[in-house]
Amino acid sequence: MNLNSNIPEGPLAQKWQSHKAHIKLVNPANRRKYKVIVIGSGLAGASASATLAELGYNVSCFCYQDSPRRAHSIAAQGGINAAKNYQNDGDSVYRLFYDTIKGGDFRAREANVYRLAEVSGNIIDQMVAQGVPFARDYGGLLDNRSFGGAQVSRTFYARGQTGQQLLLGAYSQMSKQIGLGKIKMHNRHEMLDVVLVKDAEGVPHAKGVIVRNLLTGEVEKHSADAVLICSGGYGNAFYLSTNAQGCSVTAAFRAYKRGAGFANPCYTQIHPTCIPVHGTQQSKLTLMSESLRNDGRVWAPKNKDTAAKIRAKQMKATDVPETDRDYYLERKYPSFGNLAPRDISSRAAKEACDDGRGVAPGSGNGVYLDFAESIGRLGESSIAERYGNLFEMYERITGENAYKTPMMIFPAVHYTMGGLWVDYNLMSNVPGLFVLGEANFSDHGANRLGASALMQGLADGYFVIPYTLGNYLAQVGAGAPALDNPAFAEAEASVKAFNDKIMSVQGDESARDLHIRLGHILWEKCGMARSKESLTQALAEIPALREEFWKRVRVPGDSKDLNIELERAGRVADFLEFAEVMVRDALQREESCGGHFRVEHQYPDGEAKRDDENFAFVGVWEYQGENKAPTLEKEPLKYEEVKFATRSYK
Amino acid sequence: MSSEGMKITLRMWRQKNKSAPGKFVEYKLSGVSEDSSFLEMIDILNEMLVHKGEEPVVFDHDCREGICGMCSMTINGVPHGPERKTTVCQLHMRKFKDGDVITIEPWRSKSFPIIRDLIVDRGAFDRIIQAGGFISARTGGTQDANAILISKPVADYAMDAAACIGCGACVAACKNASAMLFVAAKASQLNSLPQGKPEKDRRVLAMVKQMDAEGFGNCTNFGECQAACPKGITLDHIAQLNRDYLVAGVKKTLGLLK
């Protein structure tokens, strides 16, 4: 694998400007000769599609939902970071850059992160121009709130629906271009393979995709000059997560099977404030925005007996005296308090519950997020103004009124920092295959800070790819291959064979049942705390489950028709293969960093112990063929500006 | 909740495709947890069907947290079911009683043709947005975000309108199958903001023209849409759309719009 990061020369703060000034451009009159395929219509995919179409490229965008407006970016609640320093509280591009590097536990690529911070301000300008109704003060200026891992207020928000408003903004720009005929939108289509075509020197380039029309079952071939994968993260490998039901690793994983490196799959983010699991019929977990930690205080009882009484419903949270409450984040991390980063807050919640102080009935897996103090200080109406929709959502799901009794929360799988490997230009090791947003690995290291996912998706789509894609296209020249190229026939046949294989099993288990079992293995053995022992067990159990899948899965209906069970089974089959790569990565990384916590590597006080000497690298996995172990290659992380430091929020 | 959970009888609309006749099929479920969401209850049904080798009920859903707007079904005659300002995915079984019989149908509207079972084609909504539901703002070259002052009441009003999730419950609830609430919500958001003013007249004319072309019915002010809207979008926005449309129409007649 070619893992040259192609980071431009020069001082960190000037790399992007200088790169933009020197890379190749495509003449406006020539852009219409190029065709670009975009997979996914979330913030990254929608913004890339809209911008590339504006520039004059012909874009084909594919999404599995019934409209591009449904993509799961829509569910982000709390906000989007930008280094505007509108609050005059000491923010700057450098500080956002540093917070992101530190938040990612020194496992992100410095130059990419700096660029992200650099363009963050443009994103806010752009989204306001599109009509995104961000929160404002009475003077008409934009308002900000604070998020975890930062000591400045740099998060812009639109009530508790920031992701929705940003996505609908990008969707509206995309819609304009669809109306103008510059984007061809393919709703209800799922990408099942990427097609590589060799150039004159024999180097394979991504020149098309194989997709399945989910309404008719028809397998279609599409060719282009480049392919952009913007398909989101792989959190649903765990079955229960905050992701949407259709989110999957399929697009990224099928690209991996064609030679794209998969970087840092073990970096998964477990979000601290989600509604606890209620039972076995549950299909997803719901997040309560991190912004709630601006005004909510996290606690568990000090006393195990108190917790036991609460679990047995013999006592209420409001009856626990102050003296018996452990506001553990404020106690352990006084300078960041309840706004400690996500990985740290999640582990602290697990620690309290493992200690027998959890409060959720049954499992015990729950702690409190309490607003009583802030309601007393600010009044219920102020809290309702800030978080009303979240309190309503909480009540709908749990039947409890969080103005009167504290919310019960527990960590849940939320975001995945790992993803397909990309260079500084967001191109994978396969030429012509670009990866944007959560689907790539590049900006968040081992842990993402709150309100940074929206920032990255839009930065990649609006402000990075228009430049770097042009640089690639100018070098290869226009000319999407004809569909009768044998590479298309081969990929189409392989997709059909895969689907036929699933249909032919006709066993006795549903794909969902098998997915639930995979989720249990990953959550128990590759979740918030991992050990050599647990990972080794998982590495034995996953292939066994995979074998069971191929013997027992049952998919009714026909593959050449709308078939929701076939869609599900295909995604589960990929998760079952991918899970093994995730576990292997967690096993090789003999250190703790960010969302990856190995119990063998911790300080006596339970904090994560990084090993910069041996593990300051990006772990990139290369596919070696069916039933063969993938191989690991390393991209060393070189820091020019920042010095490694123990990550402390105390 | 008893340890066995709830017993529920479903009268479920099944239809193979747009042209095939549809019918209600009765299914009996037991062991449904009252903490389950409505869609999790349908998951239980589908698991049962898959294990029997029958085709599951096809329904649209994705985020399951009330924001993507994909879920769309009429429950006992009410789009999104009995709980006010709540999408189906956020409706929970504790709102029903043990032994209930629940009737489930797709959105019914000529402009939303049925694809299968409970899923319909809502492409008409996308085409209305494509016609004019945007502000033309090319990437780059915009001014600083704080250079545009927007007073809090205006920002809040725009946000109220922008909360629309495009689910189509307003159309399903309306006896005329009118899409006015959906169109008004987007027009109102963009028209009320200073950034959206330059294209205001063009926008309303283009969106309404596309709405009519899609075959949606006329608004006769019954207000069923407002009652069914899971995001609480109000009729005020329809009133504003009517005003904006009138002004734009007059300007067009007088030849003031090029």
Q: Does A239 touch chain B (CB under 8 A)?
A: no
Query: What is the tens place of the pLDDT at every residue in A218-262?
Result: 999 999 999 999 999 999 999 999 999 999 999 999 999 999 999
Percentage of chain B beyond pLDDT 90 is 97
The Cα–Cα gap between A97 and A116 comes to 8
At a CB cut-off of 8 Å and minimum separation 6, what does B214 contact? B111, B124, B127, B128, B179
Q: How confident is the model at residue B2 (pLDDT cuts 50, 70, 90)?
A: very low
Interface pTM, i.e. ipTM: 0.98
CB A529 within 8 A of CB B14: no
DSSP string, A354-389: IIII--BTTTB--EEEE-HHHHHHH-HHHHHHHHHH
Is the Cβ pair A133, B155 closer than 8 Å?
yes
Q: Which one is predicted more confidently, A255 or A362? A: A255
B245 plus B132 within the same structural domain: yes
Please name which of A199, A233, A179, A217 lies closest in space to residue A68, comparing C-alpha atoms.
A179
Query: What is the tens place of the pLDDT at every residue in A277-323?
Result: 988 899 999 999 888 999 999 999 999 999 999 999 999 999 999 99
| Residue A441 belongs to a domain | no
| Residue A400 belongs to a domain | yes
| Residue B1 belongs to a domain | no
Q: Does A245 touch chain B (CB under 8 A)?
A: yes
Is the Cβ pair B53, A134 closer than 8 Å?
no
Residue B157 has pLDDT above 80, yes or no: yes
B222 plus B238 within the same structural domain: yes
Q: How confident is the model at residue A373 (pLDDT cuts 50, 70, 90)?
A: very high
Cα three-residue angle A167-B153-A294, rounded to 5 degrees? 65
Mean pLDDT check: name the lowest of A381-385, B62-66, B231-235, B250-254.
Answer: A381-385
Is the Cβ pair B135, A164 closer than 8 Å?
no
| Residue B258 belongs to a domain | no
The total number of structural domains in chain A stands at: 2
3-state secondary structure A215-282: CCCCEEEEECCEEEECCCCCHHHHCCCCCCCCCCCHHHHHHHHCCCCEECCCCEEEEEEECCCCCCCC
B134 plus B163 within the same structural domain: yes
The Cα–Cα gap between A644 and A590 comes to 18
Residue B1 has pLDDT above 60, yes or no: no
Range of the structural domain that residue A385 is part of: 273-412
Q: How confident is the model at residue A606 (pLDDT cuts 50, 70, 90)?
A: confident
Place of tokens 């990309």: A422
A389 plus A509 within the same structural domain: no
The nearest CA of chain B is from the CA of A66 a distance in Å of 8
Task: Name the A residues in 80-119 with CB < 8 Å from any B CB.
Answer: 84, 86
A287 plus A394 within the same structural domain: yes
The total number of structural domains in chain B stands at: 2
| Residue A582 belongs to a domain | yes
CB B112 within 8 A of CB B124: yes
> Which amino acid does the sequence have at B127?
R
Q: Residue A148 pairs with which residues in a beta bridge?
A: none
3-state secondary structure A478-524: CCCCCCCCHHHHHHHHHHHHHHHHHHHHCCCECHHHHHHHHHHHHHH
Where a domain ends, among A412, A436, A457?
A412
The nearest CA of chain A is from the CA of B237 a distance in Å of 16
Alpha helix stretches (DSSP H) within chain B: 38-51, 123-132, 152-162, 169-173, 180-192, 200-213, 224-228, 236-253
Is the Cβ pair A179, B43 closer than 8 Å?
no
Residue A125 has pLDDT above 90, yes or no: yes
> Quick one: pLDDT at residue A386?
82
Query: What is the tens place of the pLDDT at every residue in B5-61?
Result: 999 999 999 999 999 999 999 999 999 999 999 999 999 999 999 999 999 999 999
B170 plus B137 within the same structural domain: yes
| Residue B176 belongs to a domain | yes
> Quick one: pLDDT at residue B3?
54
B103 plus B171 within the same structural domain: no
Mean pLDDT over residues A408-421, rounded? Answer: 97
The Cα–Cα gap between B39 and B36 comes to 8
Is the Cβ pair A75, B68 closer than 8 Å?
yes
B242 plus B207 within the same structural domain: yes
| Residue A431 belongs to a domain | no
B88 plus B51 within the same structural domain: yes
| Residue A507 belongs to a domain | yes
CATH of the domain at A605: 1.20.58.100
The nearest CA of chain A is from the CA of B65 a distance in Å of 7
Query: What is the tens place of the pLDDT at every residue in A2-38?
Result: 999 999 999 999 999 999 999 999 999 999 999 999 9
| Residue B22 belongs to a domain | yes
> Quick one: pLDDT at residue A100?
97
Q: What share of chain A is helix, strand, coil (3-state, %, to 5)?
A: 45, 15, 40
| Residue A403 belongs to a domain | yes
Chain A residues closer than 8 Å to B187 by CB: none
Where a domain ends, among B63, B98, B115?
B115
Place of tokens 């036929």: A500
Q: Could you say which of B125, B145, B149 has the minimum Cβ distance to residue A125?
A: B145
Q: Residue A325 pairs with which residues in a beta bridge?
A: A301
Query: What is the tens place of the pLDDT at every residue in A539-591?
Result: 999 999 999 999 999 999 999 999 999 999 999 999 999 999 999 999 999 99
B103 plus B139 within the same structural domain: no
CB A223 within 8 A of CB A481: yes
Please name which of B66, B225, B234 lies closest in space to residue B161, comparing C-alpha atoms.
B234
At a CB cut-off of 8 Å and minimum separation 6, what does A382 contact? none
> Quick one: pLDDT at residue A649?
85
CATH of the domain at B43: 3.10.20.30
CATH of the domain at B199: 1.10.1060.10
Please name which of A538, A446, A435 lies closest in space to residue A229, comparing C-alpha atoms.
A435
| Residue A554 belongs to a domain | yes
B128 plus B245 within the same structural domain: yes
Where a domain ends, among B63, B89, B115?
B115
Query: What is the tens place of the pLDDT at every residue in B79-127?
Result: 999 999 999 999 999 999 999 999 999 999 999 999 999 999 999 999 9
Say whether A342 is catalytic: yes
Query: What is the tens place of the pLDDT at every residue in B166-203?
Result: 999 999 999 999 999 999 999 999 999 999 999 999 99
| Residue A496 belongs to a domain | yes
Please name which of A509, A506, A584 lies closest in space to residue A542, comparing C-alpha atoms.
A584
> Quick one: pLDDT at residue A388?
87
Percentage of chain A beyond pLDDT 70 is 100
> Quick one: pLDDT at residue A535?
98
B132 plus B246 within the same structural domain: yes
The nearest CA of chain B is from the CA of A321 a distance in Å of 29
**Cα-based distances in Å from A176 to A330, B130, B208:** 48, 5, 16
Query: What's the gap between Cα A454 and its chain centre?
Result: 10
Please name which of A630, A534, A542 lies closest in space to residue A579, comparing C-alpha atoms.
A542
Task: Name the B residues in 226-245 with CB < 8 Å from any A CB.
Answer: none
A611 plus A521 within the same structural domain: yes
B24 plus B68 within the same structural domain: yes
Quote the DSSP letter at residue A302. S
Chain A residues closer than 8 Å to B63 by CB: 70, 72, 74-75, 244-245
Q: Does A50 touch chain B (CB under 8 A)?
A: yes
Catalytic site residue from A342, A571, A589, A610: A342
Range of the structural domain that residue B211 is part of: 122-253
> Quick one: pLDDT at residue B247?
97
Q: Does B145 touch chain A (CB under 8 A)?
A: yes
The Cα–Cα gap between A198 and A205 comes to 6
Cα three-residue angle A108-A113-A116, rounded to 5 degrees? 145
In terms of residues, how long is chain A? 650
DSSP string, A156-195: E-STT-HHHHHHHHHHHHHHHHHHTTSEEEETTEEEEEEE
First vs last C-alpha separation in chain B: 65
B129 plus B247 within the same structural domain: yes
Q: Tell me phi and psi for residue A648, to 5 degrees.
A: -120, 135
Which run of H or of E encompasses A308? helix A304-311
Mean pLDDT of the residues in chain A: 96
CB A597 within 8 A of CB A606: no
Is the Cβ pair A140, B40 closer than 8 Å?
no
Is the Cβ pair B130, A179 closer than 8 Å?
yes
> Quick one: pLDDT at residue A381?
94
